[in-house]
Amino acid sequence: MIQSRAYSTGRKQLQSILAKQIEEIKAAGTFKVNLVSRRPEKNCVLNTQQNERVITTAQSSTIGVKDSPKVVNFCANNYLGFAGHPAIREAAKSAIDSHGNGLGSVRFICGTQDIHKQLESTISKFHKKEDTILYPSCFDANAGIFETILTENDAVISDALNHASIIDGIRLCKAKRFRYKNCDMADLEERLKEADAAGARIKLIATDGVFSMDGSVAPLDKICDLADKYNALTFIDECHATGFFGKNGRGTPEYFGVEDRIDIINSTLGKAVSGAAGGYTTSTKEVITLLRQRSRPYLFSNSIPPAVVGSAQKAFELIDTEGVQLRKQLVANTNLFRSRMAAAGFTLKGENHPIVPVMLGDAKLASDIADEMLKRGIYVIGFSYPVVPKGQARIRVQLSAIHTTQQVNEAADAFIEIANSKKAKL
């Protein structure tokens, strides 16, 4: 009788290698655990239940966390509060009723519904572009764009602090790669000169519109000027800008007045726009047509579910109606928190954006302060290496339009009191 087994003979070797890596992460103080317990189960290499904080309610300004009282949430990308908006929830339910739970197919076989085309049209009009293609996430959109439109004859010039999904997408293409210092226009110009010297046919400048770990905004006006000077194209990732940044929520291009000078925009439906999932690329008809033919994440991924499509469609409607007042409230909350923290002596990164990195330097200090904040009912997260550079540990605070003035002040008060109690160097 042959005894069955659950794993291959190579399991022990893999387990040993992974266990060592996990211990190295723990030793570095960067292991991600929840706040229920910091002690892994006995004789267990990794207790997966302690990998993430478990939320027991809908996403909102106040949330329930497993084995903990309700807390005020300052670490979600729920910039406009749309993740739990009643009209958006109803739109998702209605889409399920009319178009089902899912397609069980990729788009080009039998996975395109009328609502997918309607949403793509809505996004194109929103960004003033010719056409749009939907993806399961913006990570997929970034994975699909570079290898589709660039060849070994081309060059991509990328900001040093671009999101991991942009970096991974660039790795998949055969184009020559150049990297410029974060938001450094002199360095960008030098890289453009190098690309020209290398004989690049197409030069594509790739940048985040807003850098998610710093809350800083790419100087798109200056980037566009250099693009014009060197006959280059512009690509931006707008995940932390779409729907709430700029006067009408059209993102960093609107903020800098360069909406007609950005060639390709990738963004998400999973942050300010409904807070659910999904991503897209919006650009010229030629770019989008080629993506439909060759973009692997699009060709080999199931269609976005109707509930996500329906909720996003409603969210884009609300951005132009309720969004007007919500954006004003978000700006007020951002200014209040930034001003209070700066007055207290904290070092902050970014400007004019609801991502507010509170710079602490030391990884353990960032983790300890985040733990103390939770005890006071404020949910924030400490970030340290390798997510951010060594010595630049921080707590990233994210404001939402649905935070009350009282909640914003309570968060600032807690930071100040805890920092003083720890005699932290700010």
The active-site residue out of 99, 127, 240, 314 is: 240
Query: Are 133 and 288 a contacting pair, CB within 8 Å?
Result: yes
Q: What's the token pair of residue 38?
A: 């910091």
Burial of 27 (0-12, 13-18, 19+ CB in 10 A): exposed
Distance CA 267, CA 271 (A): 9
Distance CA 273, CA 80 (A): 8
193: annotated active-site residue: no
Give 179's strand partners.
Answer: 158
70: annotated active-site residue: no
The active-site residue out of 271, 314, 349, 403 is: 271
Q: What's the token pair of residue 29?
A: 């103080």
* Buried residues in 104-132 as b, exposed as e (16+ CB within 10 A): eeebeeebbbebbeebbebbbebbebebb
3-state DSSP percent of the chain in helix, strand and coil, to 5: 45, 15, 40
Amino acid code (one letter) for 178: F
Distance CA 189, CA 206 (A): 13
212: annotated active-site residue: yes
The active-site residue out of 212, 295, 301, 384 is: 212
**What 3-state DSSP class applies to 381?**
strand
How many other CB atoms are found less than 10 A from the CB of residue 295?
23
Distance CA 57, CA 348 (A): 30
Q: Which residues are catalytic?
A: 212, 240, 271
